[in-house]
Amino acid sequence: MILVIIIVVKGRAMLQRTLESGWGVLLPASLVAALALGDLTFAQWRVVVVLGLLATAGMLYHKRLRHYVLLPSCIAFASAMMLAIMKIAP
């Protein structure tokens, strides 16, 4: 019985952590959507992708910032998706 209680309590705490990580996707995606309204060129989108990847690599080795590594990696991913859309639809 005690094991069931521990699993239920831990499961609830883990569910809250996964919901918190949703902000790590929503915030960068809204930033990329705002950048898309700015009508950036193909070269400028490539710079955004490179900056996102460099920021991700830098944040991995920082003691405090590594908890927020999802933010620049999601910006790089969403920007790469915009590059793909721009390449497919001229």
Q: Which two tokens stand for residue 82?
A: 């915009």
Q: Which positions ≥6 away from 60 have C-beta within 8 Å?
A: 66, 69
pLDDT of residue 53: 92
pLDDT of the chain along its 90 residues, tens only? Answer: 454 455 555 555 554 554 456 777 788 888 888 888 888 888 998 999 999 999 999 988 888 877 788 888 888 988 998 888 888 876
What pLDDT, on a 0 to 100 scale, did the predictor assign at position 73?
87
pTM, full prediction = 0.70
> Domain residues for 80?
23-88
Residues 52/14, Cβ–Cβ less than 8 Å = no
What six digits make up the tokens of 18?
């996964």
Interior angle at CA 34, CA 59 and CA 51, nearest 5: 30
Structural domain tally of the chain? 1
Is residue 71 in some structural domain?
yes
**73 lies in a domain?**
yes
